[in-house]
Each structure stands twice: as C-alpha cells, then as structure tokens.
Structure 1
Amino acid sequence: MRKVTSATLLVGFICVFSACKEDDVISPTTLTVPETTKETNTTNSLVNNWAYDTMKDAYYWSSEMVSLSNLDVSLDPFSFFEKLIYNRETIDRFSSLTDDFEALENDFNGISKIFGLRYTIAYLDNSSTNLGLFLSQITPGSAAEAAGMKRGDVIITIDNQNITSANFSSLFSSSDTHSFGFGKLENDVWVSEGAVSVTSMVTEENPVAYSGIIDLPVSGRKLGYLLYTQFIPGSADEYDNQLRSIFADFKSNQVSELVLDLRFNGGGYISSAEVLSSLIGKNTKTSDIFYIEKWNESYESYLRSAYGSNYFNHSFLNEPNNIGNQLSRVFVLTSNSTASASELVINGLEPYMEVITVGENTYGKNLFGTLVGDEVNKSNYGIYVMLGETTNALGQSGYGTVDGITPDYYIEDNQIPYLPIGDYNETLFSQVLDILGEKTLASARLGNKTTVWRKNKFYMKEAEAKPLAKTIRTIPTATK
C-alpha cells in the first residue's frame, strides 16, 4: 500500500493485457516483468496507445477523456499526452509523461544527479537585467555542501558570466561542472566575493535537512524545529525512522511548541505523510481518520465492492513518540513550493488541533498519483498519473487550486541574504516568535539585509521550473 514498483499493476491494467471490457474490472494482481533490454525505437503509435489505455483506466478524470478514435496516435507522445489532460491550466497541473522513467522514479525517491542547490531567483538591481541565485538550502551530502556552500550565499555569476533570464537555463545545462561566483552587498552594490568549482553528482537527499530543540528566549520553554524537504521513507524506512527518533528526542525533552518547516517540500509518499502526522496529531487514535480518498468511478465501484466503504478512510498510525499531548498547536512554514503531501499534512491535522500556517500561499495540490512505466512496449516512457483526490476527516479539500492554502500569517520570504534555519531573526521563524510573544535577539547579519524582487516565488532546485508536487500512492493489490 505504499511505495510504487514497476511490478505493481493498476486494477484495470489487467484489462489492457487480457482485452476485457473497460467496465469489467476484476481483482488486481501483480506481474513480475522479466529483465529485458528497453527498446529505443518504439513508434509513436505504440507509446500513445499505451498512454491512452493507462489514462483511460486509472485517470481520475477518465470519463472526460476524448475518444481514441478522435485522436491522432502518430503525434509526438508529449503532444498526444497533453490532449488527454483535463483542464491543464486550472485543475490537473500535475499528470505528466516522461521519456526517462528511471530518472523520474529516482527523483521521486530523492535520488538525482545534482549540485545540491535550492534557491530563489531575484534581480540584483533596479535594471531588471542581472539575476542572483539566493541560496535557501543546500542538500545534505551533496557536492555543493562538500564545496562549503551554505544557506545565505548569493551566486552572482556562473562560469564568470552574469546571470540573466536569457542565459540562465543554458548556463546550468551546459556542463556537469560549474564555477559559481559569490557576491555580497556593500552600500547597495553587489560585489564579487570569490568562487568555487562544483561538479554535480548522484545524490540521495536526506529529507531531514535540519532538526533541533530551540530554547525560547522569554518563557524558557522548548520548541522543536524540523525542516523537512521531501516525503520519502528511504531504504528500509530509514528516513521515516529518523523522524521517529527526532520526535522521541522532542518528547523526552518536553518540547511544548513545534515548527514544521515545509517551505521547500513539494510532496512525496503518502506513507511518510502518515508517519509525520501521526507523530504530531493531538490525542489522535488509530480509529481517527487522517485523510479520505476519492477515485474515478470504476475504481470507486471496485474498491467499495472488494474492500468495503472503509477502504477509502486512512487513519492515523500508532506512533509511540507522538508529542501531540505536549502541544496546543503546530506552526507550519509554507511557500509556493509547499505542495501535495505537505498540504495533505496541514489539511489532515486541522480537524484535531490548531495548525497555524506562516509564509506564503501553498502550491495547491489535493490530488494523489502514481508512476507507471511502459512495460507493454518495454520503452523508456512513463506516466505520472493523477488517480484521485483527498479530503480530511471533515470532508474538506478546498486547497486544490492555484491559490493553494492561504497562510494565517502571510509574509514574503524576500529578506536576503537568508539567515540560518532556526535563527531568531530568520524571516518566517521570526514571525512565529512574534506570535508566541517571544523577544527576538539581535543578529550581526541584520545590517546587510535587504528586500529583493523575486523573479518567481518558487524555491527552485537547480534548473527546475517549479516543484514536482508529487504525492505517491500505490494501487491496491489483492491483499490490503
């Protein structure tokens, strides 16, 4: 019921292999596909027919899809796929086709070839010409971390070239090795401050980028702080177990306030969202609903018949290190990059405790999906398909728009250079301390801070245009 593997089939995929009628949905099973060499010359029509069958079976809006007879299967697969999407601009902003399934699967599991940079792009001056990359987070274990790069650094050149809107993408994609030139602000002018050469490498991102217990300066109480960047369980659930260990520490140290920093978190596996929420929920029991699923009509009918109506209700887990009874609320730091499973956690906790959101509007994804590889043609293509939507225990799911979740305290994270996570004067955390009535402390770096106009409000991950906004859910198998 958790991680997706290439051997897991959708319920109706059996129809694809056995040519049964679309409404003749039978019990799902699994198929182990023998190791074969992937074909590189698969025709457009073969890929497009597979894509159509996949979407027609599993897609949440399958009933809205145009008939295959009205489509040109000879089209480029990416052009063809877009004709299957339901209201791309406003509703399904997430389903996608890839011609490198393995790379996307690895990325969903936090493994990719990267420098290890997450940043905000903003103009360096009023001319709106030269851009700076304001580093908001460095991936632990990455090449950038090994090179000494840190949150708060500002990149003003790449390979000795100024960064502009016109050359940004090409600069990043031109090589696996770059010289990143840093700048600092002096008298309202950005001046050079050295450079480092960094070579990208395959990195498995630990989603726990920071955790700590912070003494509140006025009350002396303890606040737990978790910066969590992606919902991934890790091999043998190592990252989920790391969360459990962190909350055990929070519990034993009598943490009474909690900051969950999800400003960089674009989603991930629902299973990890269940673990995290079950460590936080106030007085939640395993009989309490965390979230409810909605599928397309065929799946709804089959799943209700096979497993009963309770199949769609997903409860909190029994987590011994839950700290909910020590908390009266939880603070969640948000941004336009906060998406999917992150929003699921916010929405799922709200019926049980006060959730105070601080930052900017979230991305707006109340959908869950899965990755499906093209085992029919043995090609490199794959689909990230939206299977359904989620609500909380109260049936609420109103954040699935471009406006996302509007924070309780709206504050733009545009004060740069960025201060370290957990610093009393860091923009979003400072707002939390104000809400708590805690006095913030002076920082020597405050004198060099300024407000910038960001080119976009995403915390970009290297050359990424927007968060992938992923929530991974496996398809039901014969045993639940």
Structure 2
Amino acid sequence: MYTMLFSRLKVGNAAPLLASVLLLAAACKKENGGNESPSSNEKTNQWVIENMRDVYYWNTSIPQDRNLNFRSDPEDFFESILHPDDRFSWIQLAKDLEDNLSGVSTTVGLGIGLLQINQAGEVIISVRYALEDSPADEAGIERGDIITEINGRALTIENYQEVLEPYYGSSTFRVQLAHINENDQIVLDQEIDLTPVERFQEQAIHMDTVITTSGGKKVGYLFYNRFLNEQPNELLEAFDKFKSAGVSDLVLDLRYNGGGGIWIAAMMSGLIQANFREADPFIQYKYNSNYGSETLTYYQLFGGDSEKEEEVESANELVNVIKELNLNLPRVYILATNSSASASELVINNLRPFLSDANVVHIGETTVGKNEGSITIVDERKPPEIEWGIQPIIVKLADKNGYGDYPNGLQPQYIVDEWDYLPWSPIGSLDDPLLAKALGLIDPSMQPLAAKSMGTRAQTARALHAVKVPGFEDELNRPVPVDIGRPKKRFIR
C-alpha cells in the first residue's frame, strides 16, 4: 500500500517557470477619481484581467481596458477577452472549479451518449458507464442500458437539451429504462427515480484487471477515466497488480478520458515505458512571450528541483516506486476516441519518442486535439476577496523532441467506432470492439472469439438506423485542459 501526505502548494500549483507569477491582483482600480468604490463585478474583472495579461497564452490579443466592460458579469467578461482559437479556458466559482478538477460533482453517476434512431428525430440515451457506488450504480443501471425518457418526456433531436436539464441538476428525476430485444426493437423496462448526490467523488480507475488470452498471454487492462492528481495510490496499486501477475502487454482504455493533471500523466507514462529514467526529458512547454519556453524531465515534473526538502524527498520516493513497479514495456495499446482529450492525448504523444510511433498503438477514433495546458488561479488571500477562479490556457505542449502539433486530434492506427455496435458491451468484455481489436493484435488467436457477437451488435445498430447525435457532449465528461501544476499532495511511500 502507498500512503500520501497532503501539502497544498501556493500559486495554484503553477509549473516551475511560473512559480513567481503574481496571482493576487493589485488593489482594484477606482473610477470617478477614486470617489466611488468598485462593484463586486469590477473587482473580480480587474483581478481577472491582471492575471490574464500576465500568463494567458494569447495575452497580446486581449482588448485594451478602455474597450472592455468591467461592470459586466464575470462569465461574460471572461468570454469577451478569450482568443478565437481558445476552446478550453473557463471561469467558475473557485470552490466549484477546484471540485471540478478533483473529480467532485453533484451527480447521479452516469456517463451518457446520445443516439438518433430514425429519420423522425427520436433520440435515446445510451449509458456509457455508471460510477461505482453512485445512485445510478446502486439502482442497477449498467453500461449498455438505454434511457428513453426523463420525467416522462421522450427525447428528440429538437428538445434533448431541455429534456436533459434534470439530469444535470440537483433534484430527483425519473428515467425510463429500456433494452433492445432479439428483433432489434426497443422495449421499455421499469422506471427508476434517481437523486443526485452532492460532492460525489469519482474514482479515476473504473476497472483494472488481468486478462489471459487463449494463447496464454497475460494482458493488463486499465480503464482510466480521469487524470486525477489526487489519486496516485490507486494507479500504483493497479500497476502493482499487473507487475505481480507478470503481464506482457497493457491495454490502456482512455476512450472517455477528458484529461486532467500532467503530474499523474507523467507518472503513468513512467510506469509503462521501457527503460524509465527520471532524468529523461518528458515534455516541452511553450508559454507566451513573458515566459518563453522550457523542457522538463520526469524528475522536475515530480518536484525534484524544488527548493523544499519535503518535495524533493517526495519526488525521490516516487521515482523509486515507479522503477519498482515499471512494466518495462516495448509497446502499449491505447483505446482513445473523439471523447479523449488533453492528458489522454499527452500520454499518446509523449510516449512515442520513447517507444516509437508504431509501438504506441492507438485504437479507436481521432481524438479531440487539445495540445494545451493550464493552471488554476484563485484568490489565496485569507479570507479571499474574489470568489471566482479561472483556468486559463497558458502553454502549448509538446513531446521531448518538440512535437505537439495536433490541434485536430491524434489519428488512430486502427479505426474502431463503438457507435457502430449496439448495445454497448460491458467495460472489460471481450465483446467490446475496441478491446477485442487490441487483444486480437496481441494474440491473433483471439480475433475470431468476438466476431459473432460483434457482428450481431453491428446488425442491431444498422437495424435501428442509429447515429451519434452531432454536437452533443456530456457535460460531466467535457475535455479539460492539462493542469500543468504540481500535485496538491506530496508523495510519500
């Protein structure tokens, strides 16, 4: 077992180069010759603009103060200063922002996708997963289940956003469950009431198991849904399981992983790759003109260059554990889709210089294309005067050789679209088309095993005329910027 000590870092867990960034805005300016106190919005927006002019990657594109409305709502103000190429910076109440990044939310614990099933525009919800111990899990909802109504209202291509509002709210709502029968028809089951729980903590790992192929190979399978810096122990325990079982191959399932922390992404990469060395460069950061660029090693990312003795000790302990549990793999199979972003893409891109492009085997779909990093900026005065927090893009990311040019996503070597197969198989099932493809590459004797089942599922998808609803993105699984800050916990074994 591995234990952790909490150690909240200053300046929003900024990267080494930004350790000196001033995140507490100067005293808010006053209008009318200083005779009028600034409003709450003005104070917040002044704080926002001073931070953004300093660290924002596109800081030179921010309009001059005289062209900005400092009295506007902070969310509107923040939106007004973003660069057109910025898809990922956001502002949120500080407490909610920090919860969001830590995997804490008000939720019933479902991940969902939407399918239009006919030309009339009818839409169904297909369940991607139910988080362990969540209300949905306790109600017996599973991956592959179908929901046709919320609070008695059926979904259509015109109304689904409105019908989904209770799903994203905090009050009890009712869902109509259904299934697909042997005649490829949707048949209604029971109705279930679901009540969201506050401050539900998602676990980054949904499944870690060892699969023995028909040819006798032992394959580690890790379904990893978020890169949460706060959950290193679970990742280490999974790799301890794989190491103890003597796995020869690893399938890393990032199909719905919208990103998270660089620290845990680097930790995962070190646990996977052959010949891990902490002094190897892992990532390049390209900031705005205020800060230039830098290349960081694994050791630096882990805090080994810190001036604080406890952080150096933590980095040394982490390096030792990675070397102990490292799988020393020459090849890794990564399942990634157009829901995979940020740190998920970083692992694919930044492992390639160590293993080669061919040996980081990407199966699935083209990813989101989020090659940018951010930091969390909150008012750390005691007590804080600003209730908002911002998560601005401050850096472009690249691998150790300087490659990070994937704004349109990373393309797979093997294209497999799970939307072509219905209903979705359980996570870790040999009938799952993405996992089946990986196992077939690892052990060709596995290829025929799932063919019949997947053929039936493909026929069902065609019979339903099912297509993914364009533009829908589950708000509980939105891509998040790579958090380039160091961890909020100090690692101690």
TM-score range, shorter chain: 0.7 to 0.9
2:291 alignment partner, SS class? helix
Q: What CA distance in whole angstroms lies between the structure 2 residues aligned with 1:92 and 1:367? A: 9
Instruction: Determine the structure 1 residue equivalent to 2:392.
Output: 385
Q: For residues 155 and 322 of structure 1, do their structure 2 counterparts lie closer, same or farther at Cα, with a shift above 3 Å needed?
A: same
Does the 8 Å CA contact 1:244/1:321 hold for their aligned counterparts?
no
Post-superposition shift, 1:167? 3.5
2:354 alignment partner, SS class? coil
In the alignment, structure 2 segments of 5+ residues that lack a partner are 1-5, 29-37, 303-318, 488-493
Does the 8 Å CA contact 2:135/2:196 hold for their aligned counterparts?
yes
More helix by share: 2
Q: What CA distance in whole angstroms lies between the structure 2 residues aligned with 1:409 and 1:255? A: 23
Instruction: Determine the structure 2 residue equivalent to 1:46.
Output: 43
Q: For residues 45 and 108 of structure 1, do their structure 2 counterparts lie closer, same or farther at Cα, with a shift above 3 Å needed?
A: same
Instruction: Determine the structure 1 residue equivalent to 2:91.
Output: 97
Post-superposition shift, 1:160? 2.2
Instruction: Determine the structure 2 residue equivalent to 1:467.
Output: 478
1:267 alignment partner, SS class? coil
Q: Which one of 106, 116, 121 corresponds to residue 113 of structure 1?
A: 106
Instruction: Report the TM-score, using the length of structure 2 for normalisation.
Output: 0.80
Does the 8 Å CA contact 1:4/1:370 hold for their aligned counterparts?
no
Instruction: Determine the structure 2 residue equivalent to 1:30.
Output: none
Q: Which one of 337, 340, 344 corresponds to residue 335 of structure 1?
A: 337
Q: Which one of 404, 408, 412 corresponds to residue 413 of structure 2?
A: 408
Q: What CA distance in whole angstroms lies between the structure 2 residues aligned with 1:380 and 1:166? A: 36
Q: Which one of 111, 127, 131 corresponds to residue 135 of structure 1?
A: 127
2:292 alignment partner, SS class? helix
Instruction: Determine the structure 1 residue equivalent to 2:440.
Output: 434
2:188 alignment partner, SS class? strand
Instruction: Determine the structure 2 residue equivalent to 1:287.
Output: 279
Instruction: Determine the structure 2 residue equivalent to 1:62.
Output: 59
1:352 alignment partner, SS class? helix
Post-superposition shift, 1:71? 2.3
Post-superposition shift, 1:441? 2.2
Q: What CA distance in whole angstroms lies between the structure 1 residues aligned with 2:349 and 2:40? A: 43
Does the 8 Å CA contact 2:115/2:125 hold for their aligned counterparts?
yes
Q: What CA distance in whole angstroms lies between the structure 1 residues aligned with 2:23 and 2:471? A: 43
Does the 8 Å CA contact 1:288/1:315 hold for their aligned counterparts?
no
Deviation per CA, 1:350-389, whole angstroms, max 9, x where unpaired?
1111200011111111111112224677232221111212
Instruction: Determine the structure 2 residue equivalent to 1:270.
Output: 262
Q: For residues 294 and 448 of structure 1, do their structure 2 counterparts lie closer, same or farther at Cα, with a shift above 3 Å needed?
A: closer
Deviation per CA, 1:374-409, whole angstroms, max 9, x where unpaired?
46772322211112122111111011x1x2111111
Q: What CA distance in whole angstroms lies between the structure 2 residues aligned with 1:230 and 1:314? A: 22
Instruction: Report the TM-score, using the length of structure 1 for normalisation.
Output: 0.83
Instruction: Determine the structure 2 residue equivalent to 1:344.
Output: 346
Does the 8 Å CA contact 1:425/1:440 hold for their aligned counterparts?
no
Post-superposition shift, 1:12? 3.6
Post-superposition shift, 1:261? 0.3
* Amino acid of the structure 2 residue aligned with 1:383: I
Q: For residues 296 and 444 of structure 1, do their structure 2 counterparts lie closer, same or farther at Cα, with a shift above 3 Å needed?
A: closer
Counterpart mapping for 1:37-436 below 5 A: 42-87=39-84, 91-98=85-92, 100-128=93-121, 130-174=122-166, 176-186=171-181, 187-202=183-198, 203-217=200-214, 219-234=215-230, 239-300=231-292, 314=300, 317-318=319-320, 319-325=322-328, 327-353=329-355, 354-374=359-379, 378-399=385-406, 401=407, 403-414=408-419, 415-436=421-442
Does the 8 Å CA contact 1:291/1:315 hold for their aligned counterparts?
no
Q: What CA distance in whole angstroms lies between the structure 2 residues aligned with 1:389 and 1:4? A: 23
In the alignment, structure 1 segments of 5+ residues that lack a partner are 20-40
Does the 8 Å CA contact 1:286/1:315 hold for their aligned counterparts?
no
1:429 alignment partner, SS class? helix
Q: What CA distance in whole angstroms lies between the structure 2 residues aligned with 1:44 and 1:18? A: 14
Deviation per CA, 1:72-115, whole angstroms, max 9, x where unpaired?
3233333322232122xxx32111122x2211210110111101
Deviation per CA, 1:188-210, whole angstroms, max 9, x where unpaired?
32120112211110210011000
1:320 alignment partner, SS class? helix
Does the 8 Å CA contact 2:431/2:453 hold for their aligned counterparts?
no
Identical amino acids, percent of aligned pairs: 29
Does 158-167 or 240-249 show the bigger shift?
A: 158-167
Post-superposition shift, 1:244? 1.1
Post-superposition shift, 1:177? 1.1
Instruction: Determine the structure 2 residue equivalent to 1:23.
Output: none
Q: For residues 15 and 47 of structure 1, do their structure 2 counterparts lie closer, same or farther at Cα, with a shift above 3 Å needed?
A: closer
Does 310-319 or 273-282 show the bigger shift?
A: 310-319
Post-superposition shift, 1:311? 8.1
Does the 8 Å CA contact 1:251/1:321 hold for their aligned counterparts?
no
Does the 8 Å CA contact 1:135/1:150 hold for their aligned counterparts?
yes
Q: What CA distance in whole angstroms lies between the structure 2 residues aligned with 1:183 and 1:12? A: 53
Q: What CA distance in whole angstroms lies between the structure 1 residues aligned with 2:131 and 2:39? A: 37
Q: What CA distance in whole angstroms lies between the structure 2 residues aligned with 1:93 and 1:231? A: 20
2:192 alignment partner, SS class? strand
Q: For residues 310 and 370 of structure 1, do their structure 2 counterparts lie closer, same or farther at Cα, with a shift above 3 Å needed?
A: closer
Q: For residues 242 and 312 of structure 1, do their structure 2 counterparts lie closer, same or farther at Cα, with a shift above 3 Å needed?
A: closer
Does 4-13 or 349-358 show the bigger shift?
A: 4-13
1:149 alignment partner, SS class? coil
